[in-house]
Structure 1
Amino acid sequence: MACALGGSELEGRTQEWRQLVGQAATRDEIPDGLRLTFPPTAELAGRVAALAAAEQGCCAFFDITLHLTPAALELAVCAPEAAAPLLADLFGATE
């Protein structure tokens, strides 16, 4: 399994995720992935949703779920074992 992006596109996307992950209030390991919790602001929710949708276009093997409540925005990302290195690279998950 590999990302369909290459070169500078992949580097740019990786930087976008790392910046976003850095804003997470909490980070929890879940089976086959991780869950990040963010403050439920409209700007951040839009940014998370847009980036998650873009990621599905190049890495369809990720299972990405967004859950918005008045208290938090949760982003869960799961991947098959073969994609664990990419999950770790983008989101800081442990392999």
Structure 2
Amino acid sequence: MTKDITFDPVWVPSVCTLPTAERPVRVAEFDTLFAEAVRAVRRVGRDRLRLELLHSPEHAARAAELAARENGCCSFFTFVLTVADGGLTLEVAVPPKRSEVLDALQARAEAARAA
């Protein structure tokens, strides 16, 4: 179960094509993934975030599906899902001018993981 984390639309970039009414739902989907699957959150650069996930086919499928949908509305994101050596990692990268979006994503991942 996830802790209720307030959706702050301020950090959502204007280039996002996801309808405004659907944004809180998408954020909640990320929050659920973060709360249930994230083992560690590491900022590996100003424009890159690494999420170590619990290794399971279900978490891999959910992360891949969510990343694909998110890239459909916010194409500036680059997602790389890696399954190797018994680990599961989701890397999220953005252009430097979008680093505030990555800051917000990192904060949500850390808050959901700690809840």
TM-score (norm 1): 0.85
| 1:19 alignment partner in structure 2 | 32
Q: In the alignment, which residue of structure 2 is the partner of 1:80?
A: 95
Q: Aligned pair count?
A: 93
User: Identity, % of aligned pairs?
Assistant: 32
**Structure 1 residue 19: Cα displacement:** 1.7
Q: Find the aligned partners of 1:72 and 1:87 in 2 and give their Cα distance.
A: 23
Distance in 1 separating the partners of 2:40 and 2:105: 16
Following the alignment from structure 1 to structure 2, what is the Cα–Cα distance between the partners of residues 14 and 74? Answer: 19
What CA distance in whole angstroms lies between the structure 2 residues aligned with 1:14 and 1:88?
14
Partner of 1:29: 43
How does 1:30-49 map onto structure 2 within 5 Å? 30-31=44-45, 32-49=47-64
Displacement over 3 Å in runs of 4+? none
CA RMSD of aligned residues (A): 1.7
Which has the higher Rg, Structure 1 or Structure 2? 2
Q: Distance between the aligned counterparts of 1:13 and 1:87, measured in 2?
A: 15
Matched residue SS, 1:5: coil
Counterpart of 1:64 in structure 2 is 79
Task: Structure 2: give runs of 5+ residues left out of the alignment.
Answer: 1-12, 109-115
Partner of 1:9: 22
Conserved? CA contact 1:67–1:73, under 8 Å? yes
Q: What runs of 5+ residues in structure 1 fail to find an aligned partner?
A: none
Letter of the 2:74 partner, please give it: C
Deviation at 1:58, TM superposition (A): 0.7
Give, in angstroms, the shift of residue 26 of structure 1.
Answer: 0.8
